[in-house]
Copies of this chain bind each other. A is one copy, B any other.
């Protein structure tokens, strides 16, 4: 019945990459991050582990307009929030809070099941870099950026 589950270095690498990122990661970002602790890990494995984590409800997909899915901790996803896409470094950040009275925007008869609010622009690092000397934060390690 139950499928045997083995815990491998690769699985741990993928899991912690996502859970500790503090922001939604794309498959490629997960791959890069996971290579730090499992240098030989291939895309094949990243996709499979991500899928399994998703099935196990440990992580949740984040869909953005025009972009492939990203993934974040299911715990984070459970708290209603939205996303900011930095057009400069292509990273995505969580944005706490939301707006109210959305249903009233809809035409009569429409049943609201959910919504997604996506912001875009420049993240703190990129806007700072550009206004000072034009350096590209680009590939720097993502960190949690959130304020009270």
Contacts and interface: CB of A to CB of B under 8 A. Distances in A.
B117 A147 contact: no
A49 to B, nearest CB: 21
Interface size class of A (residues with CB under 8 A): 35 or more
A72 to B, nearest CB: 14
B127 A110 contact: yes
Contacts of A99: 99, 101-102, 105
Contacts of A105: 82, 95-99, 119
Given A87-B113, A115-B120, A121-B113, A107 B66 contact: no
A123 B106 CA distance: 10
A94 to B, nearest CB: 9
Contacts of A112: 119-121
Given A84-B106, A96-B105, A107-B147, 4 more contacts: A63-B66, A95-B105, A105-B119, A118-B118
